[in-house]
Amino acid sequence: MTATLDPPTSSPMKVLVTGGAGYVASVVIDQLVRAGHEIVVVDSLTSGQFSSVPPGLEFHRADVAEIADVLTPSAGFDAVLHFAGLIAAGESVQEPERYWLHNVAASIALLTAIRHAGVPRLVFSSSAAVYGDPMESPITEAAAANPTSPYGWTKLAIDVAMRHASAASGLGAVSLRYFNVAGAARRADGSWLGERHDPETHLIPLALDVALGRRASISLYGDDYGTPDGTCIRDYIHVEDLARAHLLALAHAKSGEHLIFNLGNGNGYSNREVIDTIRTVTGHAIPVVQSPRRPGDPAVLVASATKAAAELGWRPLKPDLRAIIRDAWDFARDRYSSPTLTR
């Protein structure tokens, strides 16, 4: 079935969200609900948190490989937001087969169901990991893709599959290549949405766990990179800013085209700088244990989001690293002081 795409509109849409119980997806869903869209969530709950799904939404506990049971021609979906997948670059080096199965094979099943159902829009949670160790900084969408981990290769493979699907069926597809996402967001009811990975692999929540006394130290992986202080440099983007880009991408999807946008602040912070900022925000010493490099970690990843600004009208509203960490810190303290929050 060929997808047909109406002109960009702010009218409510029926949107299927895969991996909707995850960190970024839950913030996107909150913004979609506020904007008046009808949301259906699919999540296996392997890593997602059911408490992150707003009460009252239609929810299916299922793997993306089974998506055709939900994404049927009669379901009437206007769009799919695809977040489901494994996300740890280091782990992917150790378990590549698992990443290709859960990320790529499942996404092919999703693309097949989308085509069969005639869904006109798809927005995909891609990654800056597709660029590997880039030759340029900040990185534009024209930079060569050369991933350094199986995780990055799986994201690139899905991007390529989406391009082919768009050309074949008229699908309006958008890949949003995230740089490092952090921070937390408040729902309308005042509750927090933030990072709750298990196990956690990201620097900011791990360091905040040290500040909370939940772990003794933070591991710093590699101090011999070709950067000013020897540690990796990353571009951090507030999760609320990232979420807004998804709503804009839905409105700007174009029939038969696959659009790619980098999403970041355009500023890089080394791992040491991030830890020092966390010390400042929390007022806690964060002991560091120096560890060897992790396989698959590029030295520098900093985004150019010029294309997103020009074509989507998107700009970060919360670019300050301290503000990003402050929100993450407020969420972390609330999470471990609330007796009612599912952890």
The whole-number pLDDT of residue 9 equals: 46
The whole-number pLDDT of residue 7 equals: 42
Provide the sign of the torsion angle of the four alpha carbons 17, 21, 22, 24, taken in this order. Answer: positive
The whole-number pLDDT of residue 10 equals: 57
Structure tokens belonging to residue 37: 């869209």
Residue 226, phi then psi, degrees to nearest 5 = -80, 55
CATH number of 185-234+267-335: 3.90.25.10
- CA–CA distance, 304 with 253 (Å, rounded to integer): 20
What separation in angstroms does the CA of 303 have from each of 23, 240, 275?
Answer: 21, 17, 21
The whole-number pLDDT of residue 4 equals: 55
Provide the sign of the torsion angle of the four alpha carbons 120, 178, 260, 147, taken in this order. Answer: negative
Q: Are 68 and 111 in contact (CB under 8 A)?
A: no
Provide the sign of the torsion angle of the four alpha carbons 124, 128, 131, 135, taken in this order. Answer: positive
Residue 136, phi then psi, degrees to nearest 5 = -125, 155
SS3 203: helix
Query: Is 23 buried (19+), middle (13-18) or exposed (0-12) by CB count in 10 A?
Result: buried
pTM: 0.93
The whole-number pLDDT of residue 3 equals: 63
The whole-number pLDDT of residue 190 equals: 87
Taking only the tens of pLDDT, the chain with its 343 residues reads 656 554 444 589 999 999 999 999 999 999 999 999 999 999 999 989 999 999 999 999 999 999 999 999 999 999 999 999 999 888 999 999 999 999 999 999 999 999 999 999 999 999 999 999 898 999 999 999 999 999 999 999 999 999 999 999 999 999 999 999 999 999 988 899 999 887 888 999 999 999 999 999 999 999 999 999 999 999 999 999 999 999 999 999 999 999 999 999 999 999 999 999 999 999 999 999 999 998 878 899 999 999 999 999 999 999 999 999 999 999 999 988 754 433 3
Catalytic residues: 151
CATH topology of domain 14-182+236-263: Rossmann fold (3.40.50)
Q: Where are the domains of the chain?
A: 14-182+236-263, 185-234+267-335
Query: What is the bridge-based pairing of β-strands 233-234 and 269-270?
Result: antiparallel
